[in-house]
């Protein structure tokens, strides 16, 4: 659902459909009206003095509220909404030259997007996220199982097909890690909430490498820790069949393990990456240049064998990174060992 649509709905209706919204306002000690006020009117009626306590103004409150809804919606997909494939109908590059082919991506496969910075990797992910219908800068059209998605469904967001792990996580509320995960688990209506919370937490700590607890406030997490938490959250809770990942490598998480967790038979994973280890771990890679898909490479058996060499180099590099980080000097003996 678009932000404008949500803003024009009645608060009482929104809260009934999305009980988690109450948590959002309770955290700021704001009482939600039961009358006919729209969300926009309601947000604008909150006195500025009350907002400044949370370093917010009316615009940033609206942005945060919409962001929060978007984050929570990732978890609302009903499991029966399964798909088999998506088609990226050819658009054009930045100069308007047509892309050579339509590309069909199947559920169960891992696809890497490679190409220089500025070449259009994030654009392609965004095209999929919004189910582009020739209405984005690339002119691409996304088909679900061969058909254009119903326009109403596309705008209503009822059918949450896509879970996106974005480059920067921004936590809109200051909850503890435990409360944050509980809120997501509750909104997904899973039966075994406490088990899920433990599972997500254990996974996040494993991915992050640096320990944190269920009592840690989410705003106190490092970049790597918050990324790890979101990955664990999506891996354990989200039922969306399409997972989009934008440049996971600099996030300070165990990126191969993260990929392993996210890859499931019933999911399609698309990731933009500059990391050879991740690119070769994919089944195929789309080569992006000047805004267009220029080639599609299937990972060869030889490339698969290269992965084990890369793992050795990677282990060495991360060992060196740790030594540097902890204030040590490096020596040549490190390369020989």
Ligand X SMILES: Nc1ncnc2c1ncn2[C@@H]1O[C@H](COP(=O)(O)OP(=O)(O)O)[C@@H](O)[C@H]1O
Contact between 20 and 72 under an 8 Å Cβ cutoff? The reply is yes
Q: Which of 119, 141, 164, 273 binds ligand X (CB under 6 A)?
A: 119
- How many residues bind to Mg ion according to rule CB under 5 A? 1
**Binding partner at 123 among Mg ion, ligand X, none, C-beta below 5 to 8 Å by kind:** ligand X
Give the shortest CB-224-to-Mg ion separation in angstroms: 19
Burial label, 208 (beta-carbon count in 10 A; 0-12, 13-18, 19+)? buried
Q: How many CA atoms lie within 13 A of 103 on its CB side?
A: 23
Please, which residue, 122 or 159, has the CB nearer to Mg ion?
122
In the region spanning residues 119 to 158, those forming contacts with Mg ion, defined by CB under 5 A, are 122
**Binding partner at 120 among ligand X, Mg ion, none, C-beta below 5 to 8 Å by kind:** ligand X
Please, which residue, 18 or 284, has the CB nearer to ligand X?
284
Grouping H, G, I as helix, E, B as strand and the rest as coil, residue 121 is helix
Q: Which of 64, 255, 291, 299 binds ligand X (CB under 6 A)?
A: 291
137 in contact with ligand X (CB under 6 A) = yes
Please, which residue, 123 or 267, has the CB nearer to ligand X?
123
Contact between 134 and 91 under an 8 Å Cβ cutoff? The reply is yes
* Integer Cα distance of 320 and 315 in angstroms: 9
Give the shortest CB-132-to-ligand X separation in angstroms: 11
State the angle between helix axes of 177-187 and 223-237 in degrees (0 to 180), rounded to the nearest 10. 20
Q: Are strands 284-289 and 268-272 parallel, antiparallel or unpaired?
A: unpaired
Burial label, 85 (beta-carbon count in 10 A; 0-12, 13-18, 19+)? middle
Q: Which of 64, 71, 138, 159 binds ligand X (CB under 6 A)?
A: 138
Q: Which of 19, 98, 100, 118 binds ligand X (CB under 6 A)?
A: 118
* Integer Cα distance of 232 and 181 in angstroms: 10
**Binding partner at 200 among Mg ion, ligand X, none, C-beta below 5 to 8 Å by kind:** none
Q: Would you state the structure tokens that stand for residue 264, as one six-digit string?
A: 């499931």
What does the binding site for ligand X look like in residue numbers (CB under 6 A)?
A: 91-94, 115, 117-123, 137-138, 272, 291-292
What does the binding site for Mg ion look like in residue numbers (CB under 5 A)?
A: 122
């Amino acid at each position: 659902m678009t932000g404008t649509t949500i803003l024009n709905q009645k608060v009482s209706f929104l809260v009934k459909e999305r009980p988690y919204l109450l948590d959002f306002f309770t955290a700021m000690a704001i009482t939600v009206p039961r009358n006919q006020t729209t969300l926009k009117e309601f947000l604008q009626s909150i006195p500025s003095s009350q907002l400044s306590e949370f370093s917010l103004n009316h615009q940033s409150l609206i942005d945060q509220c919409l962001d929060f809804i978007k984050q929570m919606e990732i978890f609302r997909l009903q499991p029966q909404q399964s798909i088999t494939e998506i088609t990226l109908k050819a658009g054009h590059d930045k100069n308007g030259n047509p892309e050579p082919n339509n590309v069909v991506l199947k559920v169960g496969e891992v696809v890497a997007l490679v190409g220089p910075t500025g070449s259009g990797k994030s654009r392609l992910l965004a095209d999929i996220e919004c189910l582009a219908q020739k209405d984005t800068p690339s002119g691409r059209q996304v088909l679900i199982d061969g058909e254009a998605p119903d326009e109403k469904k596309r705008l209503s967001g009822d059918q949450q097909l896509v879970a996106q792990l974005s480059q920067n996580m921004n936590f809109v509320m200051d909850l503890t890690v435990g409360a944050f995960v509980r809120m997501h688990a509750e909104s997904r209506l899973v039966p075994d909430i406490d088990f899920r919370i433990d599972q997500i937490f254990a996974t996040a700590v494993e991915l992050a490498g640096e320990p944190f607890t269920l009592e840690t406030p989410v705003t106190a997490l490092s970049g790597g820790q918050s990324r790890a938490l979101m990955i664990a959250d999506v891996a354990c809770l989200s039922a969306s069949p399409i997972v989009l990942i934008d440049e996971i490598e600099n996030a300070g998480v165990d990126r191969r393990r993260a990929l392993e967790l996210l890859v499931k038979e019933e999911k399609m994973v698309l990731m933009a990456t500059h990391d050879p280890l991740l690119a070769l771990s994919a089944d195929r890679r789309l080569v992006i240049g000047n805004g267009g898909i220029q080639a599609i490479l299937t990972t060869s058996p030889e490339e698969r064998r290269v992965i084990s060499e890369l793992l050795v180099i990677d282990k060495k590099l991360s060992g060196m990174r740790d030594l540097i980080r902890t204030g040590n000097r490096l020596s040549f003996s490190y390369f020989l060992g």
